[in-house]
Structures are given as C-alpha cells and as structure tokens.
Amino acid sequence: MIEIVTTGNLLDDDAQALVNPVNTIGVVGSKLTRRFKRRFPQMYSDYRSRARSGGIRIGEMLVWQDPSGAGPIIINFPIKQHWIRDSHLSYIQSGLDALTETVEALDIGSIAMPALGCGLGGLAWNDVLPQIERAFQGLPDVDVRVYHVRDHLQLMQESHW
C-alpha cells in the first residue's frame, strides 16, 4: 500500500527502512540529505567513502544499518550523477527496480522515502509517482510512505549552505 505523506519529517517515520536520495560522487546537496548525514554520521562516512572510490552507481542501492542493529535500515538511492545536475526519470526507474529487489531480499515490511528526484532533482511529481506505484505494485504487503516535496522554490532556498 502506498500512502502519500504531506506533513511531518521522513526521518521521524517509524518505517523499517528509510530512503536517502544521494548522488554518485558523495556530496551532500539537499537539506534532507544533510539531515540524514547529521542523524546517521557513520552511514554518511560509509556512503562518502564508497562514492569516492567509484562504488556508487545509478540503479544500485547502498544499504546501511547501525552495527548494533538499532534504528532503521538506511537505503541510499542514487538519484543523480552529480549534485549540481538534474536527475532523470530513467535513474528513478532503474533505482526503483533495485529498491524493490532490496526490499524483497531484506524482507522489509515498511519503507519511507521522499518524492525521488523531485525538488532539487528537477523531476515532476506527476511523472515520478506513477513510477513508484509501478515498482511497488508487486509488493502489496509492504507499507510505502512517500513524503511529497514542498514547493520547489522553498527547497531551493533552504538548500543553500
């Protein structure tokens, strides 16, 4: 089941897994990704190290969980090659295929994600939502919560360092 969430903080969601939208070069570009970095510093360190060695690719998920097993599983989902460039719908499509494979392999029952590639990624919500629905149609027992982005201009203003 897919639920669209329009208020609240994705990082406060009690889902078994949280999706962190990343780029392939290891640079934190969005406010959400900075929040993931602050909340899960070891995850960020692992992601950045992997990205710097060329190990992050579009269409491949980087899964991280605290070594103690506490907290949610973090799934780093590459939505862009470079933080300054736009995303492409094909990146989201191939990533969603990999994401659903990961969800199945890890027997994840609930997942929370942002509107992948929307906002700073430059994609339209009306194009992305059908891709999310397509990807998860074969997993009806997985609770999927998609946090819809706020106004694109507001996100742009908040993203400045």
**Residue 103, SS3 per DSSP:** helix
- Give CA–CA dist 145/110, Å, rounded: 8
Task: Tell me whether residue 80 is one of the annotated catalytic residues.
Answer: yes
User: Of 58, 76, 80, 87, which residue is the catalytic one?
Assistant: 80
- Give CA–CA dist 43/76, Å, rounded: 9
Tokens read off for 114: 């942002």
Tokens read off for 109: 């029952």
- Give CA–CA dist 145/88, Å, rounded: 22
- Give CA–CA dist 83/73, Å, rounded: 23
What is the number of other CB atoms lying within 10 angstroms of the CB of residue 15? 19
Residues identified as active-site: 80
